[in-house]
Structure 1
Amino acid sequence: MSLKTLITNSVQYNNWVVNKYIDWLSTKSDEQLNQEVISSFPTILATLHHIWQTQEYWWAYIAENSDFDFAAISAAVTKDEIFNGIKTNSQKLMDYVQSLSEEDLAKNVKIESPWFQCDFSKFEYIQHVIIHGTYHRGQIVTMGRNVGITDAPMTDYNFWNVYKDSEIKSEV
């Protein structure tokens, strides 16, 4: 399997998962989404906001456009803005990756931020975005259980990989 295929599958899977989570969580009450629990972030909605902020931050480097405005995305936003922001960013990343060549994916992008410096390939940053989101979505499932949400959707990679060409293809 080529790097292009692997990363393209990864962003397609990530986009599918993001949509499954947002569709699932959009049926939950504002009270549940904003109920404080002990975790990395105090609420499910705050965790989703963080996922969106992080996706946007890394998008600026992956796309080499430096259009990330931390202040703008950190401002108080509504549930719908967070939901739409995550979905839009995931779709944007998927579309972008599908347009890249194998060489584009292997291109190094140097980052010099106030927090760290690194010089890795685009595909490594893309993998980081996906893994970071997965980590926090796992927290959301646990947070949900603590506020009475027990019907998390099945979003394992293998489930998507097995069924992506059949019954769930229309969702991808």
Structure 2
Amino acid sequence: MSLKALVTKTVQYNNWVVNKYIDWLSTKSEEQLNQETISSFPTILKTLHHIWQTQEYWWSHISEGNEFDFEKTLAVSSKEDVFNAIKSNSQKLVDYVENLSEEELSKNIKIESQWFQCDFSKYEYIQHAILHGTYHRGQIVTMGRNIGITDAPMTDFNFWNIYKDQ
């Protein structure tokens, strides 16, 4: 499998998972999504916001030229706004990657931020953004269980790979 096919499949899977989670969490009350529990972030909604905010940060580098506006991301806080923002960002990443060549995916992008300096390929930044979201979505399932939400959807990659076309 080519790098292009692998990365495309990965962002398509991520988009599917994001939509599954949003569909699932849309059935939960504001109270449940804002109930505090012990984790990296105190609530499910704040964890989702962090996933989106981080995807936006990496998008600003991956897309080369889109500025990351931290203040703007702080203004997004309602359930619907966070849901729409993360869905939009995930679809935007799919659309972008589907139009990149293998050479463009392999292009290095140097980042100099207040936190770190690095010079990796686009596909490595894309991979990082996806894996970061996966990590925190796992936390959301655990947070949900801790507050009585036990109906998380099955989102394993193999499940998507088998049933995505059905």
Question: What TM bracket, shorter-length normalisation?
Answer: over 0.9
TM-superposition CA deviations, 1:5-55 (whole Å, max 9, x none) = 000000000000000000100000111100000000000000000001000
2:7 and 2:135 map into 1 onto residues whose CA distance is: 18
Alignment of structure 1 residues 86-97 onto 2, 5 Å: 86-97=86-97
Moved more, 74-83 or 35-44: 74-83
**CA shift at 1:162, angstroms?**
1.3
The farther-off stretch of 78-87 and 66-75 is 66-75
How big is each residue's C-alpha offset from its partner over 1:106-135, in whole Å with a ceiling of 9 and x where there is no partner?
A: 000000000000000000000001000000
Partner in structure 2 of residue 162 of structure 1: 162
Aligned residue identity for 2:77: V
Aligned position for 1:104: 104
The number of residues matched between the two structures is 166
| 1:141 aligns to 2:141 (yes or no) | yes
Cα separation, 2, equivalents of 1:76 and 1:12: 24
Show the counterpart of 1:32. 32
State the alpha-carbon separation in 1 of the partners of residues 76 and 130 from structure 2: 24
RMSD: 0.8
Q: Which residue of 1 aligns with 2:10?
A: 10
- State the alpha-carbon separation in 1 of the partners of residues 2 and 83 from structure 2: 32
Quick one: distance in 1 between partners of 2:25 and 2:19? 10
- 1:170 corresponds in structure 2 to none
SS in structure 1 at match of 2:154: coil
Structure 1 runs (4+) deviating above 3 angstroms are: none
In structure 2, C-alpha distance between the alignment counterparts of 1:162 and 1:26, rounded to whole Å: 25
Distance 1:147 1:17 in 2: 22
1:76 deviates by: 5.4
The aligned runs of 1:77-88 (5 Å cut-off) are 77-88=77-88
Distance (whole Å) between structure 2 residues aligned to residue 162 and residue 76 of structure 1: 35
For residue 117 of structure 2, what is the amino acid of its counterpart?
Q
Q: 1:93 to 1:76 in 2, by over 3 A?
A: closer
Q: Identical aligned pairs, as a percentage?
A: 77
Q: Is 2:123 the counterpart of 1:152?
A: no
Residue ranges of structure 2 left out of the alignment (5+ in a row): none
Tell me the secondary structure at the aligned position of residue 137 of structure 2: helix
CA displacement 1:59-114 (0-9 Å, x = unmatched): 00000023210011023521111000000000000000000000000000000000
Deviates more, 1:126-135 or 1:59-68: 59-68
Q: What runs of 5+ residues in structure 1 fail to find an aligned partner?
A: 168-172
Write the letter of the residue equivalent to 2:129.
Answer: V
Per-residue CA deviation, residues 132-156 of structure 1 (Å, 9 max, x unaligned), is 0000000000000011110000000
